[in-house]
Amino acid sequence: MSPAVLRYYLYKATRAVELYRPVMYLYFVSVGLSFTQIALLEAAYNVTTVVAEVPTGYVGDVIGRRLSLVVGTAVIATTLAGIAFATTFPALLALYVLWSVGYAFRSGSEDAWLYDSLVGDGEFATVRGRGSRSRSRSAWGRRRRGWLAGVDLTYPFLVAAVVTGVGAAVLLTVDDPADADESFDPLTPDVRSRPSGRPSRTRASGRSSPTTTCCSRR
């Protein structure tokens, strides 16, 4: 197994530490948000996901898929830390929009990067499957998030921000010769041959592979 694939597994493991999930709405209520305002946050997140899909796909094609993942992961880490300190609806609304943009940067880029730069067709399904299992096995976070929230409702966000930041750092350690596509022309569709079922991000639309939905949840 190559060092790059091992780092991919480590990155996937950092994505599993979503300690804030069970307590995020409790936290929002604790800072004074109404249920209507919480619903507006969710609506803003979903709308931004749809709107940001194409422009973030374009940027990902320009800077490279790995760097797109780095940007998205760093934005998510920053947003999680910001939520822990935000106490007003306008601040949380802005952070929710930024949060969605971060996930839009990662949408589709992960599978395409794995295929194009790390493993190729022969090992893609196996490596991707193991990576998904590495997320599901991160049960240590599930057992501890209740304890963290019992101490302070902001702690799950802060710990998740730190671990997510580690994921961005891990991505930076992986050499990827395909980071920059100097020949990219936004007016020319990607016509390079791709094997059947190959995950890709279409240059013209920024859409992701069939394994990624436009409104992926956190």
What confidence score (pLDDT) does residue 71 get? Answer: 92
Q: What is the pLDDT of residues 24-55, one digit of tens each?
A: 999 999 999 999 999 999 999 999 999 988 88
Q: How far is CA 118 from CA 37, 123, 130, 147, 216, in A?
A: 43, 9, 14, 38, 24
Residues 108 and 209: their CA atoms lie apart, in Å, by: 6
What confidence score (pLDDT) does residue 37 get? Answer: 97
Domain that holds residue 53: 3-172
Asked if the structure places residue 100 within a domain, the reply is yes
Asked if the structure places residue 181 within a domain, the reply is no
pTM: 0.73
Asked if the structure places residue 206 within a domain, the reply is no
Intervals of the chain under pLDDT 70: 1-2, 16, 108, 110-146, 176-218
Asked if the structure places residue 17 within a domain, the reply is yes
- The count of domains in the chain is 1
**Owner of token pair 């996901």:** 49
> Three-state secondary structure along 74-87?
HHHHHHHHHHHHCC
**3-class SS of residue 178:** coil
Asked if the structure places residue 89 within a domain, the reply is yes
The CATH number of the domain holding residue 154 is 1.20.1250.20
Residues 199 and 105: their CA atoms lie apart, in Å, by: 16
Residues 169 and 164: their CA atoms lie apart, in Å, by: 9
